[in-house]
Each structure stands twice: as structure tokens, then as C-alpha cells.
């Protein structure tokens, strides 16, 4: 099982003056990043990997911090990454229960590839900013996907993780 996260809201590319890789989360995106703690915090999670883009790193940093784990930047999840590279990560045994944060374009390509391979989805694929796909290889044969909508959480309302 792997948790594939699209980075949270980061504002518009056209309005950002610096390099795109340095574009940070917006105020809404920071709330969505906190929402990941609510969405995933009670689940059995492993490593936390992310695109090196600032907006991706910032999306998973609150969750990783709450788990006491580092965020591991991974180029396969970056803006120059490929669906094949992400699919390799999804199938890697060392990444069972990992949280992988990447970009919408890559998530769309990955879901397309998985659907062609027989991915079972309860709903049409979608991947708005801050959303998560739980992807599970059922018995090592067929992928199943579960969609978790983004959740925006105000900083004062987050709950501690159960121990």
C-alpha cells in the first residue's frame, strides 16, 4: 500500500516571481498540508518521500514532523519525473505504506498507466491539490485505488496522533 499525494495549493505559477521549484504553499495550501495529518495520521505509515519542489516538501513536512520522520526528496517524484519512475516506487517493497508527494501531471499519468493495467477505481480518477490516492496491490496481482479528498485544517484545530 502506498499513499500518493498531490501537493497542496501553491498559488498561480504566473504570479510567482522566482524559480518554479521554489514556489511555496499558499495559506490555503498550508491548511491542506495540516489536513494530511487528519487524513493519514491514524493510518500505519512508513517513509515520507517527496518531489524536491518546495510546494511538495511543504505539503508533507507537517505529517512527517508529527510522525518523527524525515522527508526524503526523490527526483522520480519531481517535475521532470516520469510515470514509469513513479510506478517503480509504488512497487518497491521498501516503500510499503510510504507517503509519496508529487505533481498533478505525474499523478494523472500514473493513474492512466494503472488503469490500463487494470486498476480498480470506485469513482472516476481526479487529483485536486492536496488530495491523496491510496494505492494497493491486491494479492500482488491487481491495483486498487481509494480517493481521499483534500481537507483544509486550521492550525489550532489539529489533533495529536494516537499513540
- Predicted confidence at residue 28, as pLDDT, reads 95
The pLDDT tens digits for 92-122 are 989 999 999 999 999 999 999 999 988 878 7
- Predicted confidence at residue 14, as pLDDT, reads 75
Could you tell me the mean pLDDT of each successive run of 10 residues in the chain, 163 residues long?
96 78 92 96 94 97 96 97 95 94 96 89 87 87 89 74 50
- Predicted confidence at residue 163, as pLDDT, reads 45
Ranges of H-type helices in the chain: 27-40, 54-67, 83-91, 104-116
Task: State the Cα–Cα distance between residues 99 and 75, nearest whole angstrom.
Answer: 15
Structural domain contains residue 160? no
Burial of 122 (0-12, 13-18, 19+ CB in 10 A): exposed
Total domains, the chain: 1
Structural domain contains residue 158? no
Unique residue bearing C-alpha cell 494516537: 162
- Predicted confidence at residue 11, as pLDDT, reads 78
Structural domain contains residue 95? yes
CATH number of the domain residue 134 falls in: 3.40.50.1240
- Beta carbons of 46 and 96 less than 8 angstroms apart: yes
Give one DSSP letter per residue of 82-118, joined into a string: -HHHHHHHHH-GGGTT-EEEE-HHHHHHHHHHHHHTT
Structural domain contains residue 161? no
Domain holding 95, by residue range, is 2-153
Amino acid at each position: 500500500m502506498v499513499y500518493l499525494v498531490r501537493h497542496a495549493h501553491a498559488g498561480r505559477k504566473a504570479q510567482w516571481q522566482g524559480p518554479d521549484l521554489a514556489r511555496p504553499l499558499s495559506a490555503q495550501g498550508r491548511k491542506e498540508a495540516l489536513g494530511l495529518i487528519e487524513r493519514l495520521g491514524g493510518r500505519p505509515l512508513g517513509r515520507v518521500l517527496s518531489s524536491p519542489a518546495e510546494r511538495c516538501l511543504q505539503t508533507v513536512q507537517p505529517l512527517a514532523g508529527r510522525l518523527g520522520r524525515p522527508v526524503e526528496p526523490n527526483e522520480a517524484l519531481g517535475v521532470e519525473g516520469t510515470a514509469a519512475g513513479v510506478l517503480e516506487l509504488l512497487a518497491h517493497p521498501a516503500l510499503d505504506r510510504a507517503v509519496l508527494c508529487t505533481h498533478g501531471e505525474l499523478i494523472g499519468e500514473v493513474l492512466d498507466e494503472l488503469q490500463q493495467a487494470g486498476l480498480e477505481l470506485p469513482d472516476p480518477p481526479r487529483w485536486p491539490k492536496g488530495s491523496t490516492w491510496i494505492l494497493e496491490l491486491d494479492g500482488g496481482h491487481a491495483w486498487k485505488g481509494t480517493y481521499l479528498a483534500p481537507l483544509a485544517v486550521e492550525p489550532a484545530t489539529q489533533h495529536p496522533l494516537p499513540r
